[in-house]
Amino acid sequence: MVKKLFKHEMYAYLRTILPMHMILIGIGLLGRFVQLFENDSTAYDIVFWSSVVAFCIGVVVCVLLTFIFGIRRFYTNLFTSEGYLSFTLPVTPTQHIFVKNTVAFIAQLFSIVMISIATCVITFGDVCVELFRALGYIIKQFYIQYSQHTTLFILEIIVTLVVVISTSYMLFYACIALGQRAKKNRVACAVGIFFAYYMILQVLATIAIIIVNTFYEELHIEEILNYLYYHPIFTNHLGWCLAIVISLLLNLLYFAVTKSSITKKLNLE
């Protein structure tokens, strides 16, 4: 069942996201084409810079729309009239959430790959080579500084990205699912819950800072910071791993909230 859900979910994404990114690649091609007529005229400058701006706007739009589509799809496919079909399929809520989350993540990945391709297209030639050279140089510098740890760092960064993307979708799912518990104005409630949660996080962070400041001595903060400062490799590993663990825990929490809302309190109207 998960496989079939996957298939249909992927298709639903592809039909909106693929054309969007194809247009971006089209803009890239057009931009590259403009560069063929390079000269010193103002007219060329105007056209060139408009193509660059258009491309940048295109990239931002693609990233944003892909993300928004992932959230919107969760809402429309489960909690609007489409939900009548989705929730009468012989599929468990866990499978629904899992597939929605994974495919949303894959869409983000797809978007990143497509944007990279589009960037290669618009910069095709010397600039592109230059870009790759710069990237290679940065990685090389890292290897020089951290030697074999670099591979680990790259791995940690990738895992963090994966988990953070999944968790951020899951947070929106949880808000939407919680909003469904309301008697009316469910979408507004979801938005409200999101901001309320955000504020609570801010308050918690503030409290944490206050605690750290107040008990600066008792908590040996000075020593800890010093230790971290003189052990950059350890600090980096610790930072990424903490990010991964915290994000994973939050992911599980959001998932549990979403699942229980769907299993126990589903009320399609």
Partner 1 sequence: MSEILRCENLTKKYANTTALNSINLTLESGKIVGLLGPNGSGKTTLIKLINGLLTPTEGTVLVNGNKPGVKTKCNVAYLPDNSYLNSWMTVKQIIDFFKDFYADFREDVAYTMLNRLGITPTTRLKTLSKGNKEKVCLILVMSRNAKLYVLDEPIAGVDPAARDYVISTIINNYNPEATVLISTHLISDIEQILDEAIFIQNGDILLQKSIDEIREENGKSVDALFREVFRW
Residues that bind partner 1 (CB under 8 A): 1, 4, 7-8, 12, 15, 81-85, 87-92, 183-184, 264-268
Nearest approach, Cβ of residue 52 and partner 1 (Å): 34
Nearest approach, Cβ of residue 266 and partner 1 (Å): 6
Shorter beta-carbon distance to partner 1: residue 11 or 195 = 11
Nearest approach, Cβ of residue 199 and partner 1 (Å): 27
Nearest approach, Cβ of residue 8 and partner 1 (Å): 6
> Which residues lie below 8 Å from residue 45, measured CB to CB, with a gap of 6+?
none
Nearest approach, Cβ of residue 10 and partner 1 (Å): 13
Shorter beta-carbon distance to partner 1: residue 1 or 201 = 1
d(CA 241, CA 60) in angstroms, rounded, equals 29
**Using an 8 Å Cβ cutoff, are 6 and 103 in contact?**
yes
The tally of CA atoms less than 13 A away on the side-chain side of residue 6 is: 7
The tally of CA atoms less than 13 A away on the side-chain side of residue 81 is: 0
Nearest approach, Cβ of residue 75 and partner 1 (Å): 14
Shorter beta-carbon distance to partner 1: residue 32 or 186 = 186
Comparing C-alpha atoms, which of 189, 165, 123, 157 is closest to residue 251?
165
Alpha carbon separation from 17 to 68, 115, 171 (Å, rounded): 11, 12, 22
**Using an 8 Å Cβ cutoff, are 105 and 16 in contact?**
no
Shorter beta-carbon distance to partner 1: residue 55 or 69 = 69
Shorter beta-carbon distance to partner 1: residue 8 or 220 = 8
Nearest approach, Cβ of residue 264 and partner 1 (Å): 6
Residue 1 token pair: 């069942």
Shorter beta-carbon distance to partner 1: residue 28 or 83 = 83
Comparing C-alpha atoms, which of 72, 78, 12, 3 is closest to residue 263?
78
Residue 142 token pair: 């890292």
Comparing C-alpha atoms, which of 258, 253, 247, 267 is closest to residue 94?
258
Shorter beta-carbon distance to partner 1: residue 16 or 235 = 16
